[in-house]
Amino acid sequence: MAVESATGTSDAPRTTDRTRASDKTMTMREAVAAHVRDGDTVSLEGFTHLIPTAAGHEIIRQGRRDLTVIRMTADIVVDQMLAAGCVSRLVSSFVGNSSAGSLGELRRRVEHADPEPLAFEEYSHYGMICRYMAGAQRLPFYPLRSYGGSDLPDVNPALRKVTSPYPGPDGEPEEIYVVPPVNPDVTIVHAQRADRSGNTQVWGLTGVQAEAVYAARKAVVVVEEVVEDEVVRSDPNRTLIPAHAVDAVVVCPRGAHPSFAQGYYDRDNAFYRAWSGISKDKERLTAWLDEWVHGTGDHAEYVAKLGEEFWDGLAVGEAMSLPVNYGRRL
Amino acid sequence: MAVESATGTSDAPRTTDRTRASDKTMTMREAVAAHVRDGDTVSLEGFTHLIPTAAGHEIIRQGRRDLTVIRMTADIVVDQMLAAGCVSRLVSSFVGNSSAGSLGELRRRVEHADPEPLAFEEYSHYGMICRYMAGAQRLPFYPLRSYGGSDLPDVNPALRKVTSPYPGPDGEPEEIYVVPPVNPDVTIVHAQRADRSGNTQVWGLTGVQAEAVYAARKAVVVVEEVVEDEVVRSDPNRTLIPAHAVDAVVVCPRGAHPSFAQGYYDRDNAFYRAWSGISKDKERLTAWLDEWVHGTGDHAEYVAKLGEEFWDGLAVGEAMSLPVNYGRRL
Amino acid sequence: MAAETVTSSELLSVVASRELAGRHAVFAGIGLPTLAASLAHLTVAPDLEIVYESGVCGAHPSHLPETIADAVLITGAEAVIPMPTLFGSVLQGGHIDVGFLGAAQIDKWGNLNSSVIGDDWHRPKTRLPGSGGANEVMANSAEVFVVMRRHDLRSFTEELDFCTSPGPDRALADGIRPLGAGVTRVITELGILAREGVGEELKLAALHPGVTVEDVKANTGWELRTSGDLSVIERPSDAELALLREDVDPERVYLR
Amino acid sequence: MAAETVTSSELLSVVASRELAGRHAVFAGIGLPTLAASLAHLTVAPDLEIVYESGVCGAHPSHLPETIADAVLITGAEAVIPMPTLFGSVLQGGHIDVGFLGAAQIDKWGNLNSSVIGDDWHRPKTRLPGSGGANEVMANSAEVFVVMRRHDLRSFTEELDFCTSPGPDRALADGIRPLGAGVTRVITELGILAREGVGEELKLAALHPGVTVEDVKANTGWELRTSGDLSVIERPSDAELALLREDVDPERVYLR
């Protein structure tokens, strides 16, 4: 009997053409060329830790346009992508330069439509997290106890209410806000390490990366290093993102700068502080992009241009985890 | 100014009188005496791995009555608690002796009300998981894509539908089933290790333990060993259950038998196979309880009674995880 | 290795493995589904991953596992994920191509009963284990394969005593949009029943050598229709049997 | 260590720390809230745990952290949890006694604006960072403390330009059952405003030495009422200042 593939009745966005065993490593240039297209909805996640900056820079180098960027904390990398003209819509819950100041380009776009308007969808952090969870879990909505009495639903029609089918604690019907799912065309995250097939291990702050990857149609994982299968398999609980959810693995050391990679390099707080000044002045910002993004062929050049002494300043020492025993049948 | 505690308006079940820094270790006898009362709703979780059997046995020894037991896979320990007369209601998604056979007492209770009826709420696995998530997240309900067309909602009125406030993929309104939260009076889980304040580390299969603990008013963590703070803190990502969610830490080596503890001892498959026969015959079952539960003062006696040779048969070898670097500021 | 010596377990495993050609992600329990998936991995589906209900992805067990939670599945695995992630993001999220299920009863639409035998759920003749994750595997896998050793009137029923895990037709009637095709293959000791999706009955699609259409009809509780291109299943090849016996289950844990 | 030399940061940290007496779990950002919580841990709330928005529980940092995600908070911590667990199970789950928030504007009900200055959200005069987790901290903490360096008419407004993080009164008016009391303490360079829960305005509860009721009223944009038991805040003690300067922030990262 011929094996025919069932068409089913699903119109869900999922594709299951990812393979587990194959080698998915490619360069950043290849990954962005293959998986990020003009007009795409692109999620870049990493909560203050492991921000996929190098991926953002490559999107700028390749001149992508009209992107919808989804990112909880729209910070420096988003300001850079805005300034480079890549982004027409932003979905976010925090548009600031960490606690270090402002995002100059974002403020020009929002406050003055300069050089052009920016469509902006404003959420809270948990609203964004719940959108990713709904996307990952293929749910039509996700309920959360936020937004009651806020002005956010007035400016964001995606924030709606549902009445619970169970009585509230007082016996009366209970209402709760919900958010819709988000299913990015591609999610890009940065991680410490993966194997070649995409089993990705993260430690330190793990943020919402796993949910953002599972919510996406395609996922690119950028890592500090690719490791042998045995390394990953020695500690399967450390695998935050299994290979079946990953389409591309990009090796890009120091690709999270100016954010940090726990155990690899520290945060460049000086650059965060500097960014408010750079971005406030459009000319300085353009010059910065010309020098550091357009002026470098890839992230390796950017890293080299910063210089060894610079990286020595962000170096970290050792604080190794104590191993656990997974056990072996005798 | 006097500091007064705000009463707020919350009628939610949460208490936040747990402390982080204190020593919460106690014996199993003390923990069950303090935290499990007649009539309580008790969640015992651990999906085939780390089943809190010793806690179930102590509940039997202390003669608790009229409990509502919540457990995804109601297996041997539940059959034993049923036979001992502790349980009047069961909430579960799988009532079988693993793949090894039947639960004799459960079948007598359900099929023949022998010796008395058992109130039973039947769910699927994900329905139970979603109930724990709703309980942990203080949500009025949790949506899931299960149950459409099933007979389960006919026999379980807690399974209800909600209409999404967003149009479905065809533009029409979309309905989805939801489950209500569960907030056990106490959740008991077994884990490999914790520190004295309750930071609990688990590896291998992690099941739904964290959600079951967060959903509960009180939580008891039973561990193979209590370790020094430095061990836990060397790998904070391994902490599945933070101390702020834990009320009692019980050291009880081999307390998950006949299930297993990854890296500590293997599953006693022979006992699983034997249980179908033991439980089928009420007299044998009663004799087993008399000998192994009522006839032992605590789990240490149970372990000793099984004997060293027995435990040698379940011993496992070493397969250590490779350490990761958390980094240290230089 | 003559075909006559092939056991029922071997036959079902080999036939099921062929149906997995080109699939990537399989949700499978221990036993015949694992044997089938492992054999398929060595033959028709080199990229196949087995995802276990316990949360194990990419297992590399040192010994053939005895349960879905066997410690040997965890040590050396590529990932072990928490249950909410497994059921929420992987299964409900739509990453499973084929889910394997068993059941006490199946009807012509591929609806399954694993809860009770008897008319009254509240006072059943036989209490079965229940859904476990079966309801979710059915609702969310792109398609479902059922492997049943026994093909008889008790299991293949006109009407289920209770529907634990409904296919898409029942879901639609309940106003719920189905995400998968439901049961597309039922592999038994007599042959293969197949359907492709919503609105289709299970039809007899293939027979084992020596089995007649009448044999199957006599053991099926509904008026079984026959597919237009009814075929005869090729016997397990020497290569398939060698892989199964020597590589997949050399200790014959399941190849009883 | 004369009281005259006490900086504004030191004053606010000490006063806020006293308000944490007996509390167990605090949700705090870096800066004054961390200083206050760290000092409280050494004085009035020995069991206090700081939970950071980044997911760190039970931090034991080697250096004073510069951000909520500083690597030194992670190394040696008791637990680092994923964001869905932090916001879902810990915060929304009801485990936070006191959440610390800042804002650009606050009104008399303790509603907060951190989104925009200007009437039109679509074309604001100033775009601020937005909610981050503030909306959730407000909705789910048992109570919220606000520490504001600046007490003036720009920040203490009769009407917010935009309500990012509403207190329980606004939630009730929107048909949503509030879970916490909202803002119960506002600690500023002039004194302390307080309210206990639903239906109550923020009233002037305490003054720093040398500050008058009129000073505060003149710098508050609504008609501020005064609590019946208006008190004067005790100056930071030598013991409090010593702990703050020598143990909590010896390098004076935040004690500007």
Interface confidence (ipTM) of the complex: 0.96
Picking from C43, C58, C66, C104, the residue whose alpha carbon sits closest to that of residue C243 is C43
Produce one character per residue of D87-109: b if its CB has 16 or more CB atoms within 10 Å, e if not: bbbbbbbbbbbbbbbbbbbbbbb
Contact present, B305 and A309 (Cβ < 8 Å):
no
Could you tell me where the DSSP H helices lie in chain B? 28-35, 53-61, 76-83, 104-112, 125-136, 152-155, 209-215, 229-233, 269-280, 282-289, 299-306, 308-313
- Read off the pLDDT band of C241 (50, 70, 90): very high
pLDDT at C142 over 90: yes
DSSP 8-state symbol, C99: E
Token look-up 């008026």 returns C223
- pLDDT score, position A20: 52
CA B89 to chain centre: 16
Taking only the tens place, the pLDDT of each residue in A209-262 is 999 999 999 999 999 999 999 999 999 999 999 999 999 999 999 999 999 999
Query: Which residues are within 8 A (CB) of C81 and not within 5 positions of it... i.e. 6 or more apart?
Result: A239, A242, C55, C57, C90
The phi, psi pair for A282, rounded to 5°, reads: -55, -35
Angle made by CA atoms C145, C151, C156, in degrees to the nearest 5: 75
The C-alpha of D185 sits at a distance from chain B's nearest C-alpha, in angstroms, of 10
- Read off the pLDDT band of D252 (50, 70, 90): confident
Task: Name the burial class of residue C230, with classes exposed (0-12), middle (13-18) and buried (19+) by CB atoms within 10 angstroms of its CB.
Answer: middle
- pLDDT > 70 fraction of chain D, expressed in percent and rounded: 98
C-alpha to C-alpha distance for C168 and C180, rounded to whole angstroms: 7
Beta-carbon separation of C129 and B94 below 8 A: yes
CA D74 to chain centre: 23
Task: Name the burial class of residue C128, with classes exposed (0-12), middle (13-18) and buried (19+) by CB atoms within 10 angstroms of its CB.
Answer: buried
Total beta-carbon pairs less than 8 A apart between chain A and chain D: 173
SS3 per-residue string spanning D173-208: HCCCCCCCCCEEEEEECCEEEECCCCCCCCEEEEEC
Beta-carbon separation of D142 and B16 below 8 A: yes
Element (H, E) at A270: helix A269-280
- pLDDT score, position A31: 98
C-alpha to C-alpha distance for B324 and A193, rounded to whole angstroms: 10
- pLDDT score, position B198: 98
- pLDDT score, position B208: 98
Query: Which residues are within 8 A (CB) of B291 and not within 5 positions of it... i.e. 6 or more apart?
Result: none
Other chains touching A, judged by 3 or more CB pairs under 8 Å: B, C, D
pLDDT at A30 over 80: yes
- pLDDT score, position B58: 98
Pairing of strands A200-201, A239-241: antiparallel
pTM tops 0.90, yes or no: yes
pLDDT tens digits for chain B (330 residues)?
Answer: 332 333 333 333 333 444 555 899 999 999 999 999 999 999 999 999 999 999 999 999 999 999 999 999 999 999 999 999 999 999 999 999 977 789 999 999 999 999 999 999 999 999 999 999 999 999 999 999 999 999 999 999 999 999 999 999 999 999 999 999 999 999 999 999 999 999 999 999 999 999 999 999 999 999 999 999 999 999 999 999 999 999 999 999 999 999 999 999 999 999 999 999 999 999 999 999 999 999 999 999 999 999 999 999 999 999 999 999 999 999
Token look-up 């999270």 returns A256
Token look-up 């726990």 returns A262
Task: Name the burial class of residue B171, with classes exposed (0-12), middle (13-18) and buried (19+) by CB atoms within 10 angstroms of its CB.
Answer: exposed
Pairing of strands B67-70, B41-45: parallel
Torsion, CA B320, CA B322, CA B326, CA B330, rounded to 10: 120
The C-alpha of C196 sits at a distance from chain A's nearest C-alpha, in angstroms, of 5
Considering D10, D19, D49, D53, which one is annotated as catalytic? D53
**Helices first, then strands: H and E counts in chain A:** 12, 17
Q: Chain C neighbours among B 265-294 (CB < 8 Å)? A: 266-267, 269
pLDDT at A13 over 50: no
For the record, the structure tokens of C67 come out as: 């349960």
Q: Is B237 on the interface with D (CB under 8 A)?
A: yes
Residues of C annotated as catalytic are 53
- pLDDT score, position C29: 77
Omega cis (within 30) before D129: no
Taking only the tens place, the pLDDT of each residue in D140-155 is 999 999 999 899 999 9
pLDDT at C1 over 80: no
Total beta-carbon pairs less than 8 A apart between chain B and chain C: 174
C-alpha to C-alpha distance for C41 and C39, rounded to whole angstroms: 5
**Residue B90 in 3-state DSSP?**
strand
C-alpha distance from residue B22 to each of A253, B25, B109, B196, B326 (Å): 42, 9, 43, 7, 26
**Residue A66 in 3-state DSSP?**
coil
Taking only the tens place, the pLDDT of each residue in A88-135 is 999 999 999 977 789 999 999 999 999 999 999 999 999 999 999 999
For residue B186, what are the β-bridge partners? B42, B218
Cα-only R_g, chain C: 18
Beta-carbon separation of D57 and B245 below 8 A: no
Instruction: Bin A101: left if φ > 0, else alpha if -120 < ψ < 50, else beta.
Output: left
C-alpha to C-alpha distance for C67 and C56, rounded to whole angstroms: 12
Nearest CA in chain B to C130: B94
Query: Which residues are within 8 A (CB) of B251 and not within 5 positions of it... i.e. 6 or more apart?
Result: B25, B222, B223, B224, B225, B226
Taking only the tens place, the pLDDT of each residue in D54-96 is 999 999 988 888 888 899 999 999 999 999 999 999 999 999 9
- Read off the pLDDT band of A1 (50, 70, 90): very low
Nearest CA in chain C to A325: C75
The phi, psi pair for A231, rounded to 5°, reads: -65, -50
Beta-carbon separation of B244 and D178 below 8 A: no
C-alpha distance from residue A169 to each of A175, B140, B163, D140 (Å): 12, 10, 22, 16
**Residue D6 in 3-state DSSP?**
coil
Taking only the tens place, the pLDDT of each residue in D11-43 is 999 999 999 999 999 998 777 888 999 999 999
Nearest CA in chain A to D180: A145
Q: Is A319 on the interface with D (CB under 8 A)?
A: yes
Q: Chain C neighbours among B 21-60 (CB < 8 Å)? A: 47-49
Beta-carbon separation of C85 and A210 below 8 A: yes
Exposure of B282 in the CB half-sphere (CA atoms within 13 A): 11
C-alpha to C-alpha distance for A239 and C81, rounded to whole angstroms: 8
Q: Which of A63-72, B14-23, C218-227, D147-156 has the lowest mean pLDDT?
A: B14-23
**Chain A residues touching residue D75 (CB < 8 angstroms):** 262, 319
Annotated active-site residue D53? The verdict is: yes
Query: Smallest Cβ distance to D78: which of B8, B10, B236?
Result: B236
Contact present, B57 and B302 (Cβ < 8 Å):
yes
C-alpha to C-alpha distance for A108 and D126, rounded to whole angstroms: 10
SS3 per-residue string spanning A94-158: EECECCCECCHHHHHHHHHCCCCCCEEEECCHHHHHHHHHHHHCCCCCEEECCCCCCCHHHHCCC
- pLDDT score, position D123: 96
